[in-house]
Structure 1
C-alpha cells in the first residue's frame, strides 16, 4: 500500500515508521525540514518539505497512485484543506484526518472524511482504519481498546455456528441481524446467507477477526 502522511510530529512520524516496518511505501510531508529527523531510517520512507495541500508537493509524492492519505498536522485548517484536496481533487480512496476542535466534526462528516481526535490512541486507530477498512467500528469503549464492529458473513462460512468465531478474551459474537430482525444468537445458532454479525473485539485482535472472515476457520 502507498500512503501519504502529512505532518511529521510524534503521531505522523510514528505512523510512518509503523507502516514502513510492515512493508508499505510511505511519503511524509511537513513544512519544516527539520521534522525529518523524527523519521526512522527506512528505505520505504521518503520525506517532502512543504504544505500538504500544495499541488507541487503532492505531485512529488505521487499522489495520483496513492492508496491512502492521512493528515495529522497540529492545525485543523491545514488538515481540512489537505484532506479535501486529496479526496476531491486526487480521488484518493482512503482519506483520514486528525481533528482538534470537536466543533468541526460536522464539517468533516459532511465531507465524508473520517476523523481521529484522541491523542492517546491516534496512531493505533489510524493504523487499524487503514488496514481494516471493512471492519469499521460502530462503537468504541474506554480509549478504543474494545470495539463493536459489524460484518456480513462470507458465503464460505454459511452454516457454521456463530459461536465458532469466539476467541476467549479477544472476539465474541454479540448480535446477528437476519432478514432485518436483530437477535442475540444462541450457542448453536448457525450463520445464514445475508447475516450481518456484530462482534465485540479487542482492537489488537482486528487482524485475527479479519482472518476469520477472509478464510475458512481451522485452515
Structure 2
C-alpha cells in the first residue's frame, strides 16, 4: 500500500518538572500542536508556564498515583520526567507504566546510572533515557576532535558527519559556486546550508560562497576530515584541555577526552568535589581554586593551552571566561550555555562554538514525539538536529515501508522549496544523491530544510 502524505495527530503529553529542560520542552512541543499537562511541586513555576502557554498545570508530586490520575495518565500518549532527581524521574515513569498505557522518557544524569542505561531502559520499559550533561560532553568532544570547526554532528550511526565552519578571506571556497565544488575538491561532500549575516540559505548549485559565510557541509565520516584538509583547515585534535568547573558535564567530558589521549586539567572551587574527581579521574589533573581568577588561569597556562572549556553552573561566567580566553590565547574555546535565552545577543559576541544542553535534550525528545504523532510508533525519525539558531532542521528519516517517495528518481520527485536531501545511508554506505538516485525501503535519509514539523519523508514532497 502506498501513502501520499503523513497524518499527524497532537499527542497528550505529561511533563513532570518545570525546570530549564521542562520549560524548553513546553515551548517546543506546544508550538508543534500537542496537548500538554505539566506537574511540579512549586506553584510559581507552573503559573509562569500556564500564563505563557495554552497548557494545564498541576501542583504535586509527579510520582504520586493520584497526581498522575489527575493529570490524565490513563489517556496520555507520553510522560516525560525531567525533575532534578534521577530517582524521582525513574519512579514517575515506573508508576505511569503501571497506571496507563503510555510511552515514558526519563532524565538520568548521575554517572553511576549512566553506566546502566540500557539495563534500566529495558527493565523499566522506557522508550528513552536522556542525559543532558553527557550529550553536551559528547558534542564538545566532537568539536575538539576537529577544532577548526564550529560544530560537528554525527548521523547514520557515526557513518556520516555534518561540519559547520566559517570561510576565511582568501580561502579556496571564497567566490566558488556550489556546483563547482566537485571539480575543485576531490572529497565528496554536500553544502547543506549557509548563514550569511542574518540570512539563512539552502543553496542551489548556482549559489556562490563568500568569505565570512558560515557553512554547513555533510559527507561520509572519512571524507569530512579530508575535505577540511583540502580547504586549508587544521584537522588534528587538540593535545590538551583546561576545564573550569567540576560538575557532571566536566566529569563526562574529561572521561571522553582522556579516552582520546588528550591531557585534561580541571579547576574546581569545592575541595571535596576535587577529591571526588581525583578518585573518579586519576589520569586528570585536578586543581582546587577559583576558575574565575585571572592570576590562576595564567598560572595554569591559559595563554598556551590548545583548548579551553568553561563548564561552571553560571552561564554568565562561562561567557565571560570565553571572551577572556579568546583575548589572551589561541585556544579552541567551547562555551556551555544552559539558561540564557538571549540568542541574538550571544551571536553578536563571536563566542565561536556554543553548546546548549537543554536544546540537545529537547531535540532527542522532539524527534521521537514528532515521529510518533506522524506514524504512531515513533520510529520514523532517527535524529533531529537544529542549526543556525534553530532556523534549519536536519532530520534523519528511517524508511520502513514503500511510499510515493520510494523507488522514484530524484529528478522526477517534486520536493518542496528549501528542502535538500543531504545523503542516503544504504547498508552503511553514504550516498551523496544525484538525479538518478532513489530512496528505497531500508535506507535512512537525511533531509535539511528551513521548514519545521516534518514527521516522515512524505512531508518533504509537494
TM-score for the superposition, normalised by structure 2? 0.39
Is the Cα contact below 8 Å between 1:17 and 1:40 reproduced in 2?
no
Is the Cα contact below 8 Å between 1:172 and 1:199 reproduced in 2?
yes
The 3-state SS of whatever aligns with 1:83 is: helix
TM-score for the superposition, normalised by structure 1? 0.74
The 3-state SS of whatever aligns with 1:27 is: strand
The 3-state SS of whatever aligns with 2:38 is: strand
Considering only aligned residues, what root-mean-square deviation do their CA atoms show, in Å?
3.6
Deviation of 1:155 after TM superposition, in Å, equals: 2.3
Corresponding residue of 2:58: 48
Is the Cα contact below 8 Å between 1:5 and 1:26 reproduced in 2?
yes
Task: Give the alignment of 1:172-187 within 5 angstroms.
Answer: 172-177=421-426, 182=429, 184=431, 187=434
Task: Give the alignment of 1:87-98 within 5 angstroms.
Answer: 87-92=97-102, 94-98=103-107
C-alpha separation between the residues in 2 aligned to 1:165 and 1:45? 37
Corresponding residue of 2:168: none
* Number of aligned positions between the proteins: 210
Specify which structure has the higher proportion of helix. Answer: 1
1:190 and 2:441 are equivalent in the alignment:
no
Worse-superposed segment, 159-168 or 65-74? 159-168
Deviation of 1:39 after TM superposition, in Å, equals: 1.0
Deviation of 1:6 after TM superposition, in Å, equals: 0.1
Is the Cα contact below 8 Å between 1:151 and 1:197 reproduced in 2?
yes
Task: Give the alignment of 1:28-177 within 5 angstroms.
Answer: 28-41=38-51, 44-92=54-102, 94-110=103-119, 111=121, 112-118=126-132, 119-121=357-359, 122-132=361-371, 133=378, 134-137=380-383, 149-152=396-399, 154-162=402-410, 171-177=420-426
1:117-138 CA-partner distances (Å, limit 9, x unpaired): 2234133443333123320229
Deviation of 1:22 after TM superposition, in Å, equals: 4.1
Deviation of 1:48 after TM superposition, in Å, equals: 1.3
Is the Cα contact below 8 Å between 1:20 and 1:42 reproduced in 2?
no
Deviation of 1:41 after TM superposition, in Å, equals: 1.8
Deviation of 1:69 after TM superposition, in Å, equals: 0.7
Corresponding residue of 2:216: none
Gaps of 5+ in 2: 1-10, 133-356, 372-377
The 3-state SS of whatever aligns with 1:96 is: strand
Gaps of 5+ in 1: none
Deviation of 1:200 after TM superposition, in Å, equals: 5.9
Corresponding residue of 1:199: 446
C-alpha separation between the residues in 2 aligned to 1:168 and 1:214? 12
Match 1:19 to one of 29, 40, 50: 29
Which has the greater radius of gyration?
2
C-alpha separation between the residues in 2 aligned to 1:106 and 1:148? 28
Deviation of 1:65 after TM superposition, in Å, equals: 0.2
Deviation of 1:74 after TM superposition, in Å, equals: 0.8
